């Protein structure tokens, strides 16, 4: 009889783990507290508008293709991808700048801002291509269980080129002098949840992903990826149980025997926790079965939380692009408010996604769906309606100024989402949005382990363990942990 794997959570990582376990012949059941799959990437449908609730940037298309290929499928079997051009627009204090998808056009743009910077970009990106190749094809697939995994001749040879001990900040500063160019090159690592000075320059691989890999859009929205993975999992025989809030993992003699929900119980040969790691450890296990102490968690550097607004407007906004970055205030000040002083931002940077610009199916005719995201520190107090409304007014005013049209008087739908919801809806530690920050001291074997130190058949996947935050890493995380399980339990 097939062995039973119980997976907690149907985010990207849980679903990825489920598909790999099912492919290996296990009987897989996924327990999800919500009524639909997707976790942080759920979909919100209200008043005729469709919003992706979390991720909106489709980067690293090769990682998605590789995922589906392992099941004899292709991305094209499930959804249609479109490359965005321009990739995105940046609003600086002195006006907008479009970032072209075409590399030569981008080089021309760089040279007009800082003569000679196009050559620097070539140099920067050829190093970044090497890091992407080693990082995405090798490093992220290590389960981080032992330092010996990294005793690989290619890795040792390339250690200097991988720039693990240099910071992104100094790496970018070595190549570019102009502040706009520096901020453009530092922007992709905001996805990794740490300041450029704290992020290893290895992560310039994200610039390769941005500029060479491109920014894509799955027609219908990011939720198409969730639907695709769900369909694949069901095709492979995975059973999904929704509205099943897990409350306990019953452990006997160092083995997880049963996963208990508010209404049911599920026997297990192995358990994979795809919900937030801290929640599983501290709420679903007795103290004696936890691998990490409360102090350990307090000392982790969390990636930011976000204050998000989902807004429907009953008109088209002139000239708006699919992705708009509002860098019309200070990067350094906002960065310090997120990571160092941990306070509500004084003058935030923010981001707007309007998928209705590219896709007529996600908003009523003649309307626009706006997803507005302000990164804020995890763990902030006094997250109340008044403070959310204050920031809403700030960002809408700046959007009206840069877009050159009124917005406030055209809003027909509005919902906000921040710390409180991250905690209530995802059991997120300190209301984090993207898990753990990718600092050097929280990389690879220094991340919370994907296997429990106390419960032999309990494993973890998702953005708080290897390899880290983001949709592509979550797909890889599920694969990595499934391989670990299969290595130990067949």
Q: Least Å distance between CB 158 and ligand FAD?
A: 25
Q: Least Å distance between CB 170 and ligand FAD?
A: 26
Q: Least Å distance between CB 256 and ligand FAD?
A: 14
**Whose Cβ is closer to ligand FAD: residue 109's or residue 268's?**
268
Q: Are 230 and 240 in contact (CB under 8 A)?
A: yes
CA distance 187 to 169: 11
What's the token pair of residue 185? 């090159």
Q: Least Å distance between CB 174 and ligand FAD?
A: 27
Sign of CA dihedral 156, 160, 163, 165: positive
Q: Are 118 and 111 in contact (CB under 8 A)?
A: yes
Q: Least Å distance between CB 6 and ligand FAD?
A: 11
**Whose Cβ is closer to ligand FAD: residue 8's or residue 140's?**
8
Q: Least Å distance between CB 365 and ligand FAD?
A: 27
**Whose Cβ is closer to ligand FAD: residue 193's or residue 335's?**
193
**Whose Cβ is closer to ligand FAD: residue 117's or residue 215's?**
215
**Whose Cβ is closer to ligand FAD: residue 14's or residue 135's?**
14
Q: Are 29 and 441 in contact (CB under 8 A)?
A: no
**Whose Cβ is closer to ligand FAD: residue 34's or residue 342's?**
34
**Whose Cβ is closer to ligand FAD: residue 149's or residue 248's?**
248
**Whose Cβ is closer to ligand FAD: residue 22's or residue 306's?**
306
Q: Are 233 and 225 in contact (CB under 8 A)?
A: no
CA distance 91 to 328: 6
Q: Are 203 and 186 in contact (CB under 8 A)?
A: no
Q: Least Å distance between CB 162 and ligand FAD?
A: 22
Half-sphere exposure (Cβ direction) of 97: Cα atoms closer than 13 Å: 19
**Whose Cβ is closer to ligand FAD: residue 26's or residue 217's?**
217
Q: Are 354 and 320 in contact (CB under 8 A)?
A: yes
Half-sphere exposure (Cβ direction) of 329: Cα atoms closer than 13 Å: 16
CA distance 216 to 210: 10
Contacts of residue 251, defined as CB under 8 A and 6 or more positions apart, other chains included, come to 257, 285, 286, 289, 455, 458
Residue in this structure with the two tokens 């929205």, named with its chain if needed: 221
* Measured CA distances, 2 to 27, 70, 358 (Å): 6, 21, 45
Residues that bind ligand FAD (CB under 6 A): 8-14, 31-34, 39-41, 54-57, 245-246, 274-275, 279, 306, 308, 373, 426-427, 433-434, 462-463, 469-471, 474
CA distance 223 to 232: 14
**Whose Cβ is closer to ligand FAD: residue 121's or residue 345's?**
345
Q: Least Å distance between CB 310 and ligand FAD?
A: 11
* Measured CA distances, 92 to 187, 321, 484, 486 (Å): 13, 15, 46, 50
Q: Least Å distance between CB 334 and ligand FAD?
A: 17
- Contacts by 251-258, CB closer than 8 A, 24 or more apart: 251/285, 251/286, 251/289, 251/455, 251/458, 254/454, 254/455, 254/456, 255/455, 255/456, 255/457, 256/455, 256/457, 256/458
What's the token pair of residue 239? 């059973």
Q: Least Å distance between CB 433 and ligand FAD?
A: 4
**Whose Cβ is closer to ligand FAD: residue 26's or residue 309's?**
309
CA distance 224 to 451: 30
Q: Least Å distance between CB 196 and ligand FAD?
A: 18
């Amino acid at each position: 009889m097939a062995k039973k794997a119980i997976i907690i959570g149907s985010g990207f990582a849980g679903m990825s783990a489920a598909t790999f376990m099912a492919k290996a012949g296990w009987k897989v059941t996924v327990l999800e507290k919500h009524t639909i799959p997707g976790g942080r990437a759920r979909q919100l449908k209200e008043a005729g508008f469709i919003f992706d609730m979390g991720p909106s940037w489709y980067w690293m298309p090769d990682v998605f293709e590789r995922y589906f290929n392992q099941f004899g499928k292709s991305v094209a079997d499930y959804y249609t991808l479109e490359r965005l051009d321009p990739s995105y627009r940046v609003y600086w204090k002195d006006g907008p700048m479009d970032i072209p998808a075409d590399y030569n056009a981008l080089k021309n743009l760089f040279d007009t801002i800082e003569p000679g910077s196009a050559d620097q970009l070539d140099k920067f990106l050829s190093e970044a291509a090497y890091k992407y190749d080693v990082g995405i094809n090798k490093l992220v697939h290590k389960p981080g269980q032992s330092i010996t995994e990294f005793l690989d001749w290619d890795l040792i040879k390339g250690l200097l080129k991988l720039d693990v001990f240099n910071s992104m900040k100094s790496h970018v500063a070595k190549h570019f002098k102009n502040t706009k160019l520096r901020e453009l090159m530092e922007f992709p690592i905001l996805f990794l949840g740490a300041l450029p000075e704290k992020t290893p320059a290895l992560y310039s691989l994200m610039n390769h992903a941005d500029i060479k890999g491109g920014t894509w859009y799955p027609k219908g929205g990011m939720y198409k990826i969730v639907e695709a993975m769900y369909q694949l999992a069901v095709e492979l025989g995975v059973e999904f149980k929704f509205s099943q809030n897990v409350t306990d993992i019953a452990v006997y003699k160092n083995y997880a025997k049963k996963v208990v929900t508010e209404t049911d119980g599920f026997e297990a040969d192995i358990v994979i926790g795809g919900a937030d790691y801290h929640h599983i450890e501290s709420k679903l296990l007795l103290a004696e079965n936890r691998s990490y102490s409360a102090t350990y968690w307090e000392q982790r550097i969390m990636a930011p939380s976000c204050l998000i607004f989902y807004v429907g407007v009953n008109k088209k906004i002139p000239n708006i692009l699919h992705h708009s970055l509002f860098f019309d205030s200070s990067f350094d000040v906002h960065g310090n408010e997120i990571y160092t002083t941990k306070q509500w931002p004084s003058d935030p940077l923010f981001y707007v996604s309007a998928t209705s610009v590219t896709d007529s199916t996600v908003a009523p005719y003649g309307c626009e769906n706006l997803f507005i995201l302000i990164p804020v520190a995890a763990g902030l107090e006094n997250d109340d309606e008044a403070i959310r409304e204050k920031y809403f007014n700030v960002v809408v005013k700046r959007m009206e100024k840069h877009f050159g049209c009124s917005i406030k008087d055209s809003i027909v739908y509005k919902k906000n989402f921040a710390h409180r919801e991250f905690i209530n809806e995802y059991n997120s530690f300190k209301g984090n949005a993207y898990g753990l920050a990718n600092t050097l001291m929280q990389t690879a074997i220094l991340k919370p382990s994907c296997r429990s130190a106390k419960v032999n058949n309990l494993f973890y996947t998702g953005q708080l363990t290897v390899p880290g935050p983001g949709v592509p890493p979550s797909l890889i995380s599920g694969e990595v942990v499934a391989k670990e399980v299969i290595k130990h339990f067949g």
